Structure 1
Amino acid sequence: LRADNITVASGSVMDGGKKYTLKSTSTFESIQEIQQLPLSETVMLKDIASIVYEPEEAERLYRYNGQPANGISVRREGEANTVEVSQAVVEAIETIRAHPKLEGFDLSIYENQGEEIMERLSHLIGNGKLGALLAAMVLYFFLRQLRLTLVIAMTIPLCLLVALSTLYFAGETLNSLTIMGLVICVGLLVDNSVVMAENMHRHYQGGATRWEACFRGVQEIGFAITIATLTTLIVFSSTLLIDGKMRFFAQKMFLPVFAAISASLLAALMFIPLCVYLTLPRQRDKEVNRRGSLRDALKWTYERFFLP
């Protein structure tokens, strides 16, 4: 019976620019068809068996909020977008709810991965904003240069944009794994830029011109931050050596991490020097030579609480 009651895919055809999926169907439509199933040239199934229709014995019991329920799982096909599919399913559920024949039935969504992805994306954006804000506060506390602080903070959205563009051109989607990879590396995106910008600012404070400060800053630590970044990338690359099912998850997380951290290195070597050159004051006599805020704060604390 199982072998004679099948539906199989039979390929597809193209007609007028449209693709049509074909299927071959051989299913029983009624009890009479089952009864007429030939077992031999003279014997049919009804001759040796009694065939009746009865509800299938329940092997599982579904309850939702303490009430009897039935569950349906909807999964996306191949390269379909999870968020778009989930939104379409939610719209379909709302349409079904309005059907008069379903009055008295309660349709509830137990799990929606599309909402989870959007929530994680919201967390990523929030973490990026918080990271940029905290980095800007710390940098401004030490450098006392508002424009320089804003330049460094801009590297976070810039690197994330490069990572998202890389995912797009690589044919990857924004899912839970790629978002997790971006969240992991958000805190690493400003490291190179902070070191580079501070070194340039130090040279400028020491009497160098804007061009000399930028040139010396890159010349002194450009190689060092390149080696440090490559070391970080090599550590993350070791996750690709994992075998089994975890290899799939590691591969999905590696690409956004690799792209974002690589972009942070390029930003520190190219974007930061240009922006620092453009934001440093042209006239040195307008630049106020201040000591570090941390030193001032420690001196004030010492004089206020420890000196007699």
Structure 2
Amino acid sequence: MIGSLISFSLRNRLVVLLLATGLFGWGVYSISINKVDAIPDLSENQVIVFTEWMGRSPQIIEDQVTYPLVTNLQGMPQVKYVRGVSMFGMSFIYIIFDDKTDVYWARERVLERLNYANRLLPEGAVPTLGPDGTGVGHILWYTLDAPGMDLGEQRAIQDWYVKFSLQNVAGVSEIASFGGFQKQYQITLDPNKLTYFNLSVPQVIGAVRANNNESGGRKFELSDIGYIIKTTGYLQSTEQIEDIPVVTTNTIPVRVKDVATVQMTGESRLGIFDLNGEGEAVGGIVVMRYGENAAEVIANVKAKMKEVAVGLPKGVKFNIVYDRSGLIKESVDSVKATLIEEMLVASVLVFIFLFHWRSALIIIIQLPLSVAIGFILLNAFDISSNIMSLTGIALAIGVIVDDAIVMVENAYRHLADAQSREDAFNKENYG
């Protein structure tokens, strides 16, 4: 069969050249559209369900949240297994699907089950789906360089301006904020004063909720003019909270400030983010969406950061802590350098030993053609250009070079022997 293939190639050289040119062009196009990343995505095909129910112990979370969700999420099609993790105030459910399952189809199936499972959960516990990213989706970390600015103000800028802007970038699944303080009004009740005024904690909570609300009225017309009535009741300061009446005794209102102290503070934290031992920092993690091109997403995020930086307060700027694009660039450049070096070395050696430029040209053509065909197969199997795949190509280049040298030298020797026999025959018969 190999002999027939070689004979066909020799008789149809133009067809072989056109076929090789077409494959090379297809390979160059495949290289331009191939997804580029540094780390291969070997994570499982999973959907995460996160439920927050703050203030509850892990055992209560396990009994009232994790267990009902796990039992109801089992039995879905194409599910391998379901894992549950309970911790203080939070529950995580990991639904692992078959590797060939489409991740967005899997998320739809989980949402269908959650619509039924919601009625089994206690009030205030609302399960949500995690981002449609993978375990290696953290492609870029950044902090806000804001000297002299309070950590609470930095977190507010991150949560209400930077995060919403960067989430609009194509390929970004989530911007996870970290560090700083999330501002909140904190009411600290005095139990002795509650007992003195014969009040309970639910009464104070109900009074604050009732006075932090807006309601719409109706439209009425007077003298051919339409009026829309509404009430504005959102709390905007600690003083407004302090003046909220909880109950009225003998025409004298008992206000919140009579039984508690109100202050602006930060939400309770389970940890801090320290940057290079220089103190706390505020920033975010860019999580890439499943199946996206990491290099392209990083470039788009950086371009968006330049637009967002224009609207930041004076003196505030981005500080990129982790950027995978550097590793991606080094990986790609390493393969390029290896390919060029091996092409030159193999061609020079063949030319020196055989002193035949056409033999050296065969190797120069064969190496880039083989790499181009390799990228066609990478796209066919939806494999990105990462450390493992590019290393495989680099190792394969060495095998291709060895094969090319052996085949070219063997062909050259056979052609030389045939030429010698022909010259000897011509000399013997024709003088």
Q: TM-score, normalised by structure 2?
A: 0.38
Residues 108-154 of structure 1: CA distance to partner in whole angstroms, max 9, x if unpaired? 22222133213211221111011100111111110101111111222
Q: CA deviation at 1:89?
A: 1.1
| 1-structure distance, mates of 2:319, 2:396 | 36
Q: CA deviation at 1:180?
A: 2.4
Aligned to 1:299: none
Aligned to 2:361: 150
Residues 57-105 of structure 1: CA distance to partner in whole angstroms, max 9, x if unpaired? 5522422584653232112111111111111111121112222x33212
Aligned to 1:292: none
Alignment of 1:217-228 (within 5 A): none
| 2-structure distance, mates of 1:88, 1:197 | 46
User: What secondary structure is seen at the aligned counterpart in 2 of 1:154?
Assistant: helix
Alignment of 1:169-208 (within 5 A): 169-208=380-419
User: What secondary structure is seen at the aligned counterpart in 2 of 1:117?
Assistant: helix
Alignment of 1:44-193 (within 5 A): 44=202, 46=204, 54-57=265-268, 59-64=271-276, 66=278, 68-99=280-311, 101-193=312-404
| 1-structure distance, mates of 2:291, 2:299 | 16
| 2-structure distance, mates of 1:198, 1:95 | 59
User: What secondary structure is seen at the aligned counterpart in 2 of 1:103?
Assistant: coil
| 1-structure distance, mates of 2:345, 2:296 | 34
Give yes or no for the alignment of 1:4 onto 2:124. yes
Structure 2 counterpart of 1:4, which letter? G
Q: CA deviation at 1:46?
A: 3.5
Whether contact under 8 Å (1:62, 1:71) holds in the other structure is no
Q: TM-score, normalised by structure 1?
A: 0.51
| 1-structure distance, mates of 2:318, 2:279 | 12
Alignment of 1:250-289 (within 5 A): none
Whether contact under 8 Å (2:338, 2:394) holds in the other structure is yes
| 2-structure distance, mates of 1:109, 1:31 | 32
Alignment of 1:36-47 (within 5 A): 44=202, 46=204
In angstroms, what is the RMSD of aligned CA positions?
A: 3.8
User: What secondary structure is seen at the aligned counterpart in 1 of 2:300?
Assistant: helix
User: What secondary structure is seen at the aligned counterpart in 2 of 1:72?
Assistant: strand
Residues 262-302 of structure 1: CA distance to partner in whole angstroms, max 9, x if unpaired? xxxxxxxxxxxxxxxxxxxxx989xxxxxxxxxxxxxxxxx
Alignment of 1:229-244 (within 5 A): none
Residues 239-270 of structure 1: CA distance to partner in whole angstroms, max 9, x if unpaired? xxxxxxxxxxxxxxxxxxxxxxxxxxxxxxxx
User: What secondary structure is seen at the aligned counterpart in 2 of 1:171?
Assistant: coil
Q: CA deviation at 1:160?
A: 0.9
User: What secondary structure is seen at the aligned counterpart in 1 of 2:413?
Assistant: helix
| 2-structure distance, mates of 1:194, 1:47 | 83
| 2-structure distance, mates of 1:202, 1:9 | 67
CA pair 54-195 structure 1, distance change in 2 beyond 3 A: same
Structure in which a larger fraction of residues adopt helix: 1
Aligned to 1:21: none
CA pair 66-169 structure 1, distance change in 2 beyond 3 A: same
| 1-structure distance, mates of 2:387, 2:413 | 42
Whether contact under 8 Å (2:342, 2:401) holds in the other structure is no
Whether contact under 8 Å (1:153, 1:190) holds in the other structure is no
Structure in which a larger fraction of residues adopt strand: 2
